[in-house]
Amino acid sequence: MIAHLLQFVAERQVSVIEQTLPPLQAHQVRVQTTLSAISAGTELLVFRNQFPRNMAVDANIDALAGAFAYPLAYGYALVGRVVEVGTAVERSWHGRRVFAFHPHASSFITTTDALLPIPHGISDADAVCLPNMETAVNLVQDGAPLLGESVAVFGQGVVGLLTTALLSRFPLGHLVTVEGLPIRRATSYQAGAHNSLSLDAVPPTRFDLIFECSGSPSALNTALGWLRHSGRVVVGSWYGDKMVTLNLGESFHRERLRIISSQVSTLAPELSGRWDKARRMSVAWEALRWVKPSRWITHRYPLADAQTAYHLLDTAPHDALQVVFEYPD
């Protein structure tokens, strides 16, 4: 069985290689991919050679074992259908639609514990956004917004939009988005924002809580300047090897500002007594039902056109939002 796998091979260069899949073992299944989504923030850092050296890609996911280094098979948002099952696997898995945290590939062999069955009523196009939705759920839980608070979300890429959509269901005083691209500011109103500003705007109010999802280190400094006394900023962006310079010599200490790191691979310790990843994932699945992030898919490419897809995101982010790869039957 021949499968096609995407690899990042050098700075701003990707390649699709052929792989011969080994025979299925008794405890394994083979998945035929239907869609995989590019996580633009993280994958563009890899595409641009801005990833940190000697750091594990993701120690919690077997398919992403190893360190950041070229050549690298990467990606972590894939949906497909189980088309072959091993002799020791329950037959009910055959034909099941599944999600996998797996690099972009046309087909792959794995075990059922690495797969998440897609709940009934959720389309493949919405399900492929699951990692970004789980990230947004985690961000909101880490920020813990309160009744009547003024909240801002910096960056209206897909994670920022999903975070805005979740926050729109809270009884907040203000929900404002901050984004440099006009088309994304317009889209943030669809997600439920009350107002949307550019980074150089004068904020209408100071904020109790800010989510930094822009991927721009300078935005974090701006966010600190927009906080109220004892306000907090949740850093959802991963900056890779980009350095962050912060002005902590003026109001940071006197205003008792807080910077909160957030990462979806773990849960905040204060939640761990009541929450686990399975409970958080169930919330993410339900949020996909009503947010329906597939409406923000702007481009669909075959895997063979991967270089074009990443070039688009790298050079013309104003033209694209969520980009996915489609795989033929």
Residues 148, 39 share a domain:
no
C-alpha–C-alpha distance, residues 133 and 209, integer Å? 20
Residues 262, 151 share a domain:
yes
Asked whether the predicted pLDDT for residue 56 surpasses 70, the reply is: no
Residue 185: its pLDDT value, please? Answer: 95
Among 3, 76, 82, residue whose Cα is nearest residue 36: 76
Contact predicate 328/309, CB 8 Å:
no
Inside any domain, residue 190: yes
Confidence class of residue 63 from pLDDT cuts 50, 70 and 90? low
Inside any domain, residue 75: yes
Residues 264, 140 share a domain:
yes
Q: What's the domain range around 41?
A: 2-118+292-326
Handedness of CA 92, 97, 100, 102 (dihedral sign): positive
Percent with pLDDT over 70 in the chain = 96
Residue 58: its pLDDT value, please? Answer: 58
Residue 65: its pLDDT value, please? Answer: 54
Inside any domain, residue 79: yes
Asked whether the predicted pLDDT for residue 225 surpasses 70, the reply is: yes
Q: What's the alpha-carbon Rg for the chain, to the nearest Å?
A: 20
Residues 113, 16 share a domain:
yes
Residues 216, 99 share a domain:
no
Residues 302, 207 share a domain:
no
Whole-structure pTM value: 0.93
Arithmetic mean of pLDDT, 186-205: 94
Contact predicate 252/244, CB 8 Å:
no
C-alpha–C-alpha distance, residues 217 and 219, integer Å? 5
- Residue 92 sits at φ, ψ, to 5 deg, of -65, -15
Arithmetic mean of pLDDT, 32-58: 85
Confidence class of residue 57 from pLDDT cuts 50, 70 and 90? low
C-alpha–C-alpha distance, residues 94 and 61, integer Å? 23
Residues 114, 8 share a domain:
yes
Residues 253, 168 share a domain:
yes
Q: How many domains, in total, are found in the chain?
A: 2
Residue 23: its pLDDT value, please? Answer: 95
CA distances from 255 to 5, 147, 224, 251 (A): 50, 21, 10, 5
Inside any domain, residue 139: yes
What CATH number does the domain containing 108 carry?
3.90.180.10
Residues 248, 140 share a domain:
yes
Structure-derived torsion over alpha carbons of residues 17, 20, 26, 31, reported in degrees to the nearest 10: 40
Residues 296, 208 share a domain:
no
Residue 85: its pLDDT value, please? Answer: 97
Quick: pLDDT tens for 266-320. Answer: 998 999 899 999 999 999 999 999 999 999 999 999 999 999 999 999 999 889 9
Quick: pLDDT tens for 88-117. Answer: 999 999 999 999 999 999 999 999 999 999
CA distances from 113 to 12, 59, 66, 272, 292 (A): 34, 16, 20, 22, 26
Percent with pLDDT over 90 in the chain = 81
C-alpha–C-alpha distance, residues 77 and 56, integer Å? 18
Residue 36: its pLDDT value, please? Answer: 98
Confidence class of residue 246 from pLDDT cuts 50, 70 and 90? confident
C-alpha–C-alpha distance, residues 264 and 252, integer Å? 26
CA distances from 27 to 2, 58, 87, 110 (A): 20, 24, 7, 9
Residue 106: its pLDDT value, please? Answer: 98
Arithmetic mean of pLDDT, 15-40: 96
C-alpha–C-alpha distance, residues 83 and 93, integer Å? 9
Quick: pLDDT tens for 118-163. Answer: 999 999 999 999 999 999 999 999 999 999 999 999 999 999 999 9
What CATH number does the domain containing 207 carry?
3.40.50.720
Asked whether the predicted pLDDT for residue 68 surpasses 90, the reply is: no
Asked whether the predicted pLDDT for residue 35 surpasses 80, the reply is: yes
Asked whether the predicted pLDDT for residue 258 surpasses 70, the reply is: yes
Q: Is 98 exposed, middle or buried (0-12, 13-18, 19+ CB in 10 A)?
A: buried
Residues 315, 221 share a domain:
no
Residues 185, 83 share a domain:
no
C-alpha–C-alpha distance, residues 317 and 202, integer Å? 24
Q: Which two tokens stand for residue 288?
A: 């996909």
User: 84 in helix, strand or coil?
Assistant: strand
